Structure 1
Amino acid sequence: MKSYFRPLPQASAPRPTDAVDLAGGPLWFTHAVALRRGGAPQIVPAKAIPDDVLTRLTVPRAPIAGMDMGGLSLMGILNVTPDSFSDGGRYLEPEAAVAQARRMAEAGAGIIDVGGESTRPGAETVPVDEEIRRVREPIAAISAELDVPISIDTRKALVAEAALAAGAALVNDVAGFTHDADLAPLCAARQVPVCVMHAQGDPQTMQQAPRYDDVRLDVYDFLSKRVEALVAQGIARDQIMVDPGIGFGKTLDHNLILLRDIALFHGLGCPILLGASRKKFIGTISGAGTADTRVAGSVSVALHGASQGVQVIRVHDVDETRQALALWRAIEWGYKNGA
């Protein structure tokens, strides 16, 4: 029976002599939770983890799109759509989009994620020409004005091609490269890094009673297969990020389980992206009804992600998240002026 291993990350000193680095970053672990389908979880020492799995859990992650995967980067969300759940319609005009990108970059975003198609539950598919029209000019303007990498949030090869030509440096596909068969070959040919996300169903159907045998292990197996498929098509493994897809075909309980055990996904040997900013489950738990009132809850989730060694956190509220992370780092590792 296959075993999966979720490391139990630690940050604070003193560090035991038998500790091992988590993904080559500042966190470490001495033990992990061993998970098996149909079996009870067990805590095991790191030395009991099979060598190939332990290597994937500990090996340093290579830089991606100029971001240091040995630390934590913030991905600023920039939706150039009329109907995104949180900020739809605010940044449709290129001037507004560039101004928002500038604010996020100045606040500490390590990359700006530009999307021209809403993927909120129930959203309709946007025609390719319209999606290209929405994203091409803002990406070109941001690329020309700001020294910050840009990712294109799309499921479609033609949109990604136009975005890459305009200056994007990473392709972020919420469909896990299953929607458009031409997208992965395009990324391989252009040698651009990618983010592969799990979603059960498409935006129109994904929240219609999603079910899993074990959401953690089902999502892990999906991402593992998608990573192997992308590698087989010529995309370097160290240039692939994985995203468990919080809110994409998951119930509230599914989301909480994935967040609690998100360190499991270090076992894929790829950097982890966490995207939970302002999502509905935050409002359900906190009582914050509208998306723009869920900042504090979103920051709380981001801090949890940081404590589990997540390398990239996708957020609407860059400055608020950066402040919280600065305090978390200072408490865990000691304050350094200017750090």
Structure 2
Amino acid sequence: MTINCKGKLIDLSTPKVMGILNVTPDSFYDGGRYKDETSILNQVESMLQEGATFIDVGAYSSRPNAPFVSEDEELQRLLPIIKLLVNKFPESTISVDTFRSNVAKQSIQVGAALINDISAGLQDQNMLQTIAKLQVPYIMMHMCGTPQTMQILTDYDDLIKDINLYFSERIAKARGLGIIDLILDPGFGFAKTTKQNFELLNNFELLNIADLPLLAGVSRKSMIYKTLNTSATEALNGTTALHMVALQKGAKILRVHDVKQAQECITLYNQLHAE
């Protein structure tokens, strides 16, 4: 189970960590924290040293009810950061969190290696064709609606079945266009209630419908801190607990704010399953 990132084959048969770098002023946990070159470089250097395989850079907050950001503003936030990271850490593997095809194209052109799309191509009709032309790995997430509307779109006939049907359709569309490397993200917190998020995690292994790598993004999310009656700032222990569950149920990538703790979780998981 490998993906090709700029000619480098990354083996996902052993789980990997994707470190989150939000260059937005309004993300739910770290919004505004990384707004100058020094803080960005220090954070990415730390994540790489702690074991991150991927750095996922986002310039448009996808938290519930996030404000609209124009394409020009997203590019102005994003492209200088990608160039900075590629120059400083040429061996790093940069993922870009965007649902816009032009942003994806320009990000790859300046050195990013893969695209992480919260809409699986449904917010921009040109996204899948763009990915097919670029021939880069593509993370497709399950979501209903948009970040502005998703919190009211939580009615499902059968949560797991509906998500699998969604992925089946998106996979077929992507494969038909010639996209090779696909990763599935069921979208914890996106158009799902807290109860549905736990149902999703409890049945995570049932999403392995096409032998494609699964990404789990539960880091410091409200399903954790609301259940524990705490805050995102205090949700690291709960995050680690759910990371182990996700690994046990087949997650191949953990998308996280706290790389060191996630990598330790993977190390312990690997030891548990050592032959």
Counterpart contact for 2:145–2:153, Cα < 8 Å: no
Match of 2:266 among 296, 315, 325: 325
Instruction: For 1:273, give the aligned amino acid.
Output: L
Matched ranges for 1:31-180 at <5 A: 61-65=1-5, 66-146=9-89, 147-180=91-124
Q: Does residue 245 in structure 1 map to residue 190 in structure 2? A: no
Counterpart contact for 1:92–1:134, Cα < 8 Å: no
Q: CA deviation at 1:197?
A: 0.3
Gaps of 5+ in 2: none
Match of 2:165 among 188, 213, 221: 221
Q: Percent identity?
A: 35
| 1:181-218 deviation digits (Å, cap 9, x = unpaired) | 11111111111110000001110111125110011110
Q: Does residue 268 in structure 1 map to residue 216 in structure 2? A: no
Q: CA deviation at 1:89?
A: 0.3
Match of 1:306 among 225, 247, 250: 247
| 1:253-279 deviation digits (Å, cap 9, x = unpaired) | 110111011111112221111111110
Q: CA deviation at 1:104?
A: 0.5
Gaps of 5+ in 1: 1-60, 335-339
Specify the SS of the correspondent of 1:324.
helix
Distance across 1 between alignment mates of 2:116 and 2:3 = 16
TM-score scaled by structure 1? 0.77
Q: CA deviation at 1:288?
A: 2.1
Distance across 2 between alignment mates of 1:284 and 1:268 = 33
Q: CA deviation at 1:64?
A: 4.2
Instruction: For 1:287, give the aligned amino acid.
Output: N
Instruction: For 2:226, give the aligned amino acid.
Output: T
Match of 1:297 among 228, 238, 258: 238
Counterpart contact for 1:116–1:131, Cα < 8 Å: yes
Distance across 2 between alignment mates of 1:145 and 1:241 = 27
Which has the larger displacement, 155-164 or 76-85? 155-164
Q: CA deviation at 1:122?
A: 0.3
Counterpart contact for 2:115–2:136, Cα < 8 Å: yes
Moved over 4 A (4+): none
Specify the SS of the correspondent of 1:241.
strand
Distance across 2 between alignment mates of 1:85 and 1:190 = 31
Q: Does residue 208 in structure 1 map to residue 152 in structure 2? A: yes
Specify the SS of the correspondent of 1:219.
helix
Q: Does residue 257 in structure 1 map to residue 185 in structure 2? A: no
Q: CA RMSD in A?
A: 1.3
Instruction: For 1:62, give the aligned amino acid.
Output: T
Specify the SS of the correspondent of 2:96.
strand
Larger Rg: 1
TM-score scaled by structure 2? 0.95
Distance across 2 between alignment mates of 1:313 and 1:213 = 28
Q: CA deviation at 1:161?
A: 1.5
